């Protein structure tokens, strides 16, 4: 692979900001300023060290580390050399991580600690380290793995440049803008939180790993660092509200949530905590990045459910039936999307053919990405997410949406988290089990939960068993519910 010019663009942008405004802050880390001049010097040191250690242009390397100045500088140093960077979750089992490294052709992992760089050789050397990676690929992101083994998603320099242009303009990210970075680097949210922010001369405010699940510490960080843009999964905002904030946070002007549905009662609490913020739901995924945005009208309750909203400029979409034919007018179908920011496909060609659809008759040009999400188009044209195709199961011959059941459970007082899984049953075919973490408020006993579900769901959608727990439920590295791990840990079974 010959690296395209776009692979070095981010590093060049950081250098440009350092030349124009060397004292401007690139990152706020543990209460200290890291200026663009500081970050550029660190990039240069890491680049020299990587070159000495044998890292070459076109040879992918893996970086497994949380967001921090050392890590960001190390990634940009790899880009300066022309080496694509694989960003897997730091929570993957060793065997899964090894498989991802082989798939991406990574001979090495690199780790930064201050000025030092350590290179860890891959346990299984790769004969051709660049065969699968397209040219001009700064990043190799990974999917959450919430439904199986993570997939490697190459993101081009052109896609990053386009995304930074849209996101920076849409949310007002420019020189000096402080943007919170809560998501892991392997999650696509980092394309806005970290890389768009640096691309446009803003200031990244990372959340330290030890603070990520402590609502009080998160509130203190937001009050102290005063970020203007906050993007996170709904769990982050639930932690803030559960910490019972005493004062509002007036610095935040944009709140974005993504990756999961937000309960209506949480959305009702956010305006009190963040009185100046425009609150938006963002729909997207690693393969296509952001595709739809819905901004909740200020001063009004959020609709329930929240619609997908308006497509991002340049986005095309359709609803497809089981045969891949467009669904015209009101109705439901799988959402197919293509965006200006999407990947050309997975590194695994077989997986690409499963999810990137050939052009539909009458719809020319590039393939669409099959999201796997079932979406309903209403008579007024509004789009509503109904759930994942792989979360639809048959119970006594009736189709049930597991995510819809979870949403109903989350609205029950005293419920903090809920995951519903379907286990094989010789009579019903599938039987629903709800694993529920209880919290403050009215007690969420099994009878109360059953009555609550029976009042809002069809009989076949009411779980047969409710398993009440008090500890947080397993989540993937991107903050989504990990249904496989939840079933294994709390039910001793695999769905």
Partners of residue 274 on adjacent β-strands? none
Helix (H, G, I), strand (E, B) or coil at 219: helix
Which of 29-38, 50-59, 192-201, 398-407 comes out lowest in average pLDDT?
398-407
Cβ-contact 89, 142 below 8 angstroms: yes
108-112, 185-189, 242-246: which range is least confident on average?
108-112
Q: Does residue 106 have a pLDDT over 60?
A: yes
Do 257 and 302 contact (CB within 8 A), yes or no?
A: no
CATH superfamily, with its number, for domain 5-295: ANL, N-terminal domain (3.40.50.12780)
Give CA–CA dist 437/451, Å, rounded: 17
What local confidence, expressed as pLDDT, does residue 130 receive?
44
d(CA 169, CA 165): 6
Structure tokens at 279: 């609150």
Q: What is the rounded average pLDDT of the residues 79-106?
A: 87
| SS3 label, residue 254 | strand
pLDDT at 221: 97
What is residue 477's predicted lDDT score, i.e. its pLDDT? Answer: 65
Q: Name the residue with higher pLDDT: 8 or 443.
A: 8
Evaluate whether 252 touches 230 at the Cβ level (below 8 Å): yes
- As a whole number, the mean pLDDT across the chain is 89
Strands (E), 390-491: 392-395, 398-401, 415-425, 429-438, 465-469
| Residue showing tokens 């959305």 | 267
CATH level 3 topology of 314-387: Luciferase; domain 3 (2.30.38)
> Pick the residue with more confidence: 484 or 172?
172
Please enumerate in sequence order all residues whose Cβ is within 8 A of that of 300, keeping only pairs 6 or more positions apart, or say none. none
**Does residue 171 have a pLDDT over 90?**
yes
Q: Cα-flanking dihedrals φ and ψ of residue 285, to 5°?
A: -160, 170
Residue identified by tokens 């990676």 is 133
pLDDT beyond 70 at 156: yes
In CATH terms, 396-491 corresponds, of 3.40.50.740, 3.40.50.720, 1.20.1440.130, 3.30.300.30, to 3.30.300.30
Cα 88–Cα 92–Cα 95 angle in degrees, nearest 5? 105
Reported as a pLDDT band with limits 50, 70 and 90, residue 129 is very low
Which residue reads 């039910």 in tokens?
491
Segment 200-207 mean pLDDT:
98
Residue 334 has pLDDT above 90, yes or no: yes
The domain ranges of the chain are: 5-295, 314-387, 396-491
pLDDT at 280: 98
DSSP-based three-state secondary structure for 70: helix
**To which H or E segment does residue 178 belong?**
strand 178-181
Task: Give me the mean pLDDT over the 474-481 stretch.
Answer: 75
- For the segment 31-44, the average pLDDT, to the nearest whole number, is 97
Return the pLDDT at 413: 87
Mean pLDDT comparison of 89-93, 277-281, 412-416, highest-scoring range:
277-281
The pTM assigned to this predicted structure is: 0.84
pLDDT of residue 126: 54
């Amino acid at each position: 692979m010959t690296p395209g010019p776009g692979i070095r663009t981010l590093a060049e942008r950081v250098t440009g900001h350092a030349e124009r405004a060397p004292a401007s802050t690139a990152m706020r880390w543990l209460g200290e300023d890291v200026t663009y001049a500081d970050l550029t010097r660190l990039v240069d040191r890491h680049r020299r060290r990587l070159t000495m250690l044998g890292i070459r242009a076109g040879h992918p390397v893996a970086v497994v580390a949380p967001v921090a100045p050392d890590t960001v500088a190390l990634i940009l140093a790899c880009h300066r050399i022309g080496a694509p960077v694989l960003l897997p979750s730091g929570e993957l089992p060793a065997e899964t991580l090894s498989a991802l490294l082989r798939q991406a052709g990574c001979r090495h992992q690199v780790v930064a600690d201050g000025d030092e760089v350590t290179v860890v050789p891959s346990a299984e050397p790769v004969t051709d380290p660049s065969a699968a990676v397209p040219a001009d690929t700064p990043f190799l992101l990974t999917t959450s793995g919430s439904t199986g083994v993570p997939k490697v998603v190459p993101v081009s320099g052109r896609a990053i440049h386009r995304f930074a242009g849209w996101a920076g303009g849409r949310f007002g990210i420019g020189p000096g803008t402080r943007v919170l970075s809560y998501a892991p680097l392997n999650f696509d949210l980092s394309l806005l939180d970290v890389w768009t922010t640096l691309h446009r001369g803003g200031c990244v405010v990372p959340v330290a790993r030890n603070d990520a699940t402590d609502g009080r510490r998160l509130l203190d960080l937001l009050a102290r660092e005063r970020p203007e843009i906050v993007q996170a999964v709904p769990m982050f905002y639930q932690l803030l509200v559960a910490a019972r904030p005493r004062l509002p946070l007036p610095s935040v002007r944009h709140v974005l949530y993504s990756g999961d549905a937000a309960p209506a009662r949480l959305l009702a609490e956010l305006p009190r905590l963040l009185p100046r913020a425009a609150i938006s739901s963002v729909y997207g995924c690693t393969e296509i990045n952001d595709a739809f945005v819905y901004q909740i009208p200020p001063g009004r309750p959020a609709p329930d459910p929240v619609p997908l909203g308006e497509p991002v400029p340049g986005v095309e979409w359709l609803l497809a039936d089981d045969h891949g034919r467009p669904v015209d007018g009101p109705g439901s179908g799988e959402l197919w999307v293509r965006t200006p920011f999407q990947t050309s496909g997975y590194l695994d060609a077989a997986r690409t053919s499963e999810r990137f659809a050939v052009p539909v008759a009458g719809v020319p040009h590039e393939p669409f990405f099959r999201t796997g999400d079932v979406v309903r188009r209403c008579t007024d044209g509004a789009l509503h997410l109904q759930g994942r195709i792989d979360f639809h199961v048959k119970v006594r011959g009736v189709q049930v949406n597991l995510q819809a059941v979870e949403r109903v459970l989350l609205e029950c007082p005293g419920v903090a988290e809920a995951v519903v899984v379907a286990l094989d049953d010789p009579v019903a075919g599938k039987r629903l089990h709800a694993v529920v973490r209880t919290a403050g408020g009215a007690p969420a006993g099994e009878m109360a939960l059953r009555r609550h579900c029976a009042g809002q769901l069809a009989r076949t959608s009411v779980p047969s068993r409710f398993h009440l727990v008090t500890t947080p439920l397993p989540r993937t590295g991107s903050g989504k519910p990990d249904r496989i791990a939840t079933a294994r840990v709390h039910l001793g079974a695999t769905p």
